[in-house]
A = this chain, B = another copy of it.
């Protein structure tokens, strides 16, 4: 990184979000307090389209460079297809900027499988990480802050070695977010030691051993169940990508379910007078907070951990809040050298002969 200021490489073309929406979100981010001073952006995609979009936001003019990339990875492209036929795409080129040292992080809302495959090939895994993982953050009610959950779907299965490495990568991500001694747990079907698949029980035994070192820098609290994804008993929750992805989307579905029911309930008549939602919101300001906390866009920004470089993936259907949140995650990870910290942490796993 050296003395130059930080640069985020952006793929605004991929995903249902679309470049116009992405640019609007980028402008919102640049004018927010989460945007570090001097941060610059490289936009990859159809240059004419991008230039005309950027020209609508004066705040972006001297912060962005545009690099032409004619291709776009579609949401339903298989990763193998994208790898073979989309080397001219905004996604590939955006990752390329990080590989060649022109940027410190990539942000894309494109299809996760292709983003992961292209990042793996270009950035490669950090030493000690057998597999990268997607980490996301969940809100919680018993404690302030967020709970980091991984893997959210980089791979559909994970053995005990993968799970252990996910846990250690999650520890570094948690420390980045301000948890100095994060509490780490494995997601399981019960809290008793004899429960769950062998890989989960074995990873749990290794993590207990590592955490017993007073300098481990995290506490291992063994198993938690699905309900604890939102409770706050753990700061990092580890699972395989299949269960993690299903749990993530179940929680998003739940947020939708409750928002729908709540809006329906609140658009009720009070003493014969219809009360619109906005009116109720004014009466009960804290209800705004419920909607805000239940907003899946705010828990946006999956980070691909375990690569030589920061790769952040947004929701396919992001809006201003979503795009801005994803960019904030990328900026924070770059500023604190998340990749370097993970690399050091995983080296300690091998040196300690824990596995």
Contact = CB atoms under 8 A, between A and B. Distances in A.
A214 B160 CA distance: 45
Interface stretch (A166-174, A190-198, A205-213, A321-329): A190-198
A152 B27 CA distance: 45
A47 to B, nearest CB: 30
Contacts of A139: 257
A265 B239 CA distance: 32
For this chain, the copies found in one complex come to 2
Contact of A253 (B196, B229, B242): B229
B268 A252 contact: no
Residue among A231, A247, A293 facing the most chain B CB atoms (10 A cut-off)? A247
A21 interface: no
A10 B227 CA distance: 28
A198 B285 CA distance: 49
A156 interface: yes
Among A192, A258, A268, the one with the most B-chain Cβ atoms within 10 Å of its Cβ is A258
A138 to B, nearest CB: 9
A245 interface: yes
Given A249-B227, A254-B255, A268 B285 contact: yes
A278 interface: no
A76 interface: yes
B227 A261 contact: no
A211 B294 CA distance: 37
A134 to B, nearest CB: 11
A282 B17 CA distance: 42
A56 interface: no
Contacts of A194: 78
Contacts of A63: none
A193 to B, nearest CB: 10
Contact of A192 (B76, B264, B290): B76
Interface string A224-267: 01111111000000010111011111111111111011101110
Contact of A262 (B256, B257, B290): B290
B157 A246 contact: no
A201 to B, nearest CB: 10
A175 to B, nearest CB: 25
A153 interface: yes
B265 A286 contact: yes
5 contacts: A197-B242, A225-B249, A226-B246, A230-B253, A230-B254
Given A76-B192, A78-B194, A230-B250, 15 more contacts: A139-B257, A156-B196, A156-B197, A187-B246, A225-B249, A226-B246, A226-B248, A230-B253, A230-B256, A243-B246, A247-B247, A250-B254, A264-B286, A265-B287, A268-B285
